[in-house]
């Protein structure tokens, strides 16, 4: 569609055009029911079958074992910052009813804006004791979130109730490496985690990298969550992958003194009702299903991973040229955990940055201004941004640098 631009927004962001056309049709008539997807009951047999298929598409493409449930929630990734704390503290209470609060430790790996929000939320909720495993700002020459810290810096607690990390920091452009090489300095240090017979309370925020590549050591996670509006759909639905020992009965835990968990926020409620306890985000789940079917047809996460690597390499290459000319500075240096999804840099002068953004719009490229709180330039290249579009962006960057 020639009226559409190259959308590099950090989220909500580009969706595949073919999916948008299918979704238009689904709004009129969902799967031949004669009812549009925004009008159909979430309890209709057609939608119940559809949501099962979406779960199946996630399970098969990410190799999710039967030990884990796939659930759909609302409230975004941000609500999960609270929800994981409530549920995993309830689980810990059931496992260890008599421990003093100070020994219910919540471990946080803080590598950027979102994990920092998560740790602040844990402190606000006030159950247990919050421990900072590592804070990447302490490992930055400028005190910023611009790196994955060295493995030696992590101090995990021996038996925490929760261990939180964010796999891709959308604002800062910092990401753990893919796990293929566990000794890589930017990999998540799985080997340093306490040994816990496979029942570690490990929580990964995958909001901005979900389905962009395989998830390393997925089976060892207690909870993986991802709001949809980056790689897999519109805003409104959050995908959860929860190990089945992490579906505690909140009422039983509350009877032992744990904080009550609102019914709609208890993982057990979602699991017991196959994510249909109350009305889910029907339309958002529908579009997620369309995106994942298309992804499956294209070869799944492994195939898209290869494309995503090439896309990121191209933009970092162009960015490096600008840096060598002294025009801009990368937020994250090479080897420090550069994100494959969000490429972030700062022009030396604000005036140049504004011209770069304005020139991009003239070329049909939008959504490149950084997060309002950290500014800069951010190019987000989630799954639906094509390699051809990235080539256009790269050419624009080179042209712009050349005329400075
Ligand atoms: N975590 C990460 C890594 C994110 O990128 C975002 C959203 N940008 C969130 C959490 C919060 O998600 P939501 O806005 O859906 O609440």
Instruction: Give per-residue pLDDT as tens, 207-225.
Output: 999 999 999 999 999 999 9
Q: Domains of the chain by range and CATH? A: 45-296 (3.40.640.10), 301-402 (3.90.1150.10)
Ligand 1 near 380 CB (within 6 A): no
Ligand 1 near 204 CB (within 6 A): no
Ligand 1 near 115 CB (within 6 A): no
Q: Looking at the predicted structure, is the pLDDT value of residue 196 above 90?
A: no
For residue 111 the two structure tokens come to: 């590598």
**What pLDDT, in 10s, does the model give residues 43-77?**
999 999 999 999 999 999 999 999 999 999 999 99
Residues 182-191 have a mean pLDDT of 95
Ligand 1 near 207 CB (within 6 A): yes
Closest-CA residue, ligand 1 atom 12, reads: 77
CB atoms within 10 A of CB 375: 13
Least confident of 89-98, 158-167, 189-198, 274-283: 189-198
**What pLDDT, in 10s, does the model give residues 268-283?**
999 999 999 999 999 9
What pTM did the predictor assign?
0.98
* Residues above pLDDT 90, as percent of the chain: 95
**What pLDDT, in 10s, does the model give residues 278-318?**
999 999 999 999 999 999 999 999 999 999 999 999 999 99
- CA torsion, ordered 265, 268, 273, 276, to nearest 10 deg: 20
Closest-CA residue, ligand 1 atom 9, reads: 77
Going by C-beta distance under 8 Å and a sequence separation of 6 or more, which residues neighbour residue 311? 340, 381, 385, 387, 390
Instruction: Label residue 331 by pLDDT band (50, 70, 90).
Output: very high
Ligand 1 near 114 CB (within 6 A): yes
Best of 73, 77, 110, 380 to mutate for ligand 1, by most ligand atoms within 8 A of CB?
77
**Torsion over CA: 56, 62, 68, 73 (sign):** negative
């Amino acid at each position: 569609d020639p009226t559409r631009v190259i959308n590099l927004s950090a989220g909500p962001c580009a969706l595949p055009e073919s999916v948008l056309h299918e979704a238009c049709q689904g709004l009129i008539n969902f799967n031949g029911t004669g009812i549009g997807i925004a009008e159909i009951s979430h309890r209709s047999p057609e939608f119940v079958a559809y949501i099962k298929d979406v779960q199946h598409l996630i399970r098969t493409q990410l190799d999710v074992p039967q030990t884990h449930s796939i659930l759909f929630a609302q409230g975004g990734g941000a609500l999960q910052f609270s929800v994981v704390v409530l549920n995993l503290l309830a689980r810990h209470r059931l496992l260890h009813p008599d421990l003093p609060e100070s020994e219910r430790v919540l471990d946080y790996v803080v590598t950027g804006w979102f994990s920092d929000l998560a740790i602040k939320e844990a402190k606000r909720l006030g159950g247990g004791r919050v421990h900072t495993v590592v804070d990447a700002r302490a490992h930055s020459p400028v005190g910023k979130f611009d790196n994955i810290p060295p493995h030696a810096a992590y101090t995990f607690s021996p038996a925490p109730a929760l261990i939180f990390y964010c796999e891709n920091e959308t604002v800062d452009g910092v990401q753990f490496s893919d796990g293929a090489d566990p000794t890589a300095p930017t990999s998540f240090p799985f080997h340093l985690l306490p040994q816990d017979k496979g029942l570690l309370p490990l929580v990964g925020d995958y909001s901005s990298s979900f389905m962009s590549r395989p998830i390393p050591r997925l089976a060892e996670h207690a909870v993986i969550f991802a709001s949809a509006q980056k790689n897999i759909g519109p805003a409104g639905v959050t995908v959860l992958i929860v190990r089945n020992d992490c579906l505690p009965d909140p009422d039983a835990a509350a009877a032992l003194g744990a904080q009550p968990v609102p019914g709609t926020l208890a993982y057990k409620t979602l699991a017991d009702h196959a994510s249909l306890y109350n009305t889910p985000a029907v339309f958002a789940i529908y579009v997620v299903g369309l995106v994942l079917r298309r992804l499956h047809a294209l070869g799944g996460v492994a195939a898209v991973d290869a494309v995503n690597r090439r896309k990121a390499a191209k933009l970092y290459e162009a960015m490096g040229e600008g840096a060598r000319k002294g025009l801009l500075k990368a937020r994250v240096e090479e080897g420090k955990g550069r994100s494959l999804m969000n490429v972030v840099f700062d022009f030396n002068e604000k005036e140049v940055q504004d011209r770069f953004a304005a020139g991009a719009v003239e070329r049909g490229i939008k959504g490149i201004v950084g997060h309002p709180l950290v500014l800069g330039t951010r190019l987000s290249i989630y799954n639906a941004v094509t390699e051809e579009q990235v080539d256009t962006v790269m050419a624009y960057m080179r042209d712009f640098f050349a005329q400075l």
